[in-house]
Every structure is written in structure tokens, then in C-alpha cells.
Amino acid sequence: MSQESTYLQVEAQALPPSSSFSSVYCPGGCGEHRIAPNATLRRTINYATFGDAATIAASPSKVLHFVATPYYCR
């Protein structure tokens, strides 16, 4: 996930991730993730990565914007 294209939209405000975003997103280091056909990959990113967690949680409107780049591996 590229930090440049990643942000959390809260109401009309775009909140970029903190500088620690990479370590939050990739605990233990980043790398390829193999996913079996028809399987699901889930991850969690804390609100605190984008600012005050309590304020963000209280907002009724939140949208996470990011680019996922899947590819086929033989």
C-alpha cells in the first residue's frame, strides 16, 4: 500500500497516515501474501494511524482510500 495514495476521509477532511504507518500496516515486515483462490485477506489499521482515534471513531462518516495491487503468481 502506497502512503502517498492512502488517506482516511472523515467527513470532508482527508487525513494522511502518520509516519509510523508502514510499521502499523506490516507487523513483522512487509512482503508478499499468498492468497488461495476465493480466499479473503483481512488487515486492521487503527484510527490512531490517521489522528485522534476518539474523534475519528465518533464521526459518522469515514472512508479509507488506498490502492491495492494484486498480481497473478505462477
Which among 21, 12, 26, 11 has a CA at the least distance from the CA of 47? Answer: 21
Segment 32-47, tens digit of pLDDT: 777 888 998 888 888 9
Instruction: Give me 69's grid cell.
Output: 495491487
Note the Cα 62 to chain centre separation in Å.
13
In a 3-state reduction of DSSP, which class is residue 1?
A: coil
pTM over 0.85: no
Please enumerate in sequence order all residues whose Cβ is within 8 A of that of 51, keeping only pairs 6 or more positions apart, or say none.
8, 10, 15
Residue 5 reports pLDDT greater than 60: yes
Judging by beta carbons within 10 Å of its beta carbon (0-12, 13-18, 19+), is residue 34 exposed, middle or buried?
Answer: exposed
Give the pLDDT confidence score for residue 9 in this predicted structure: 97
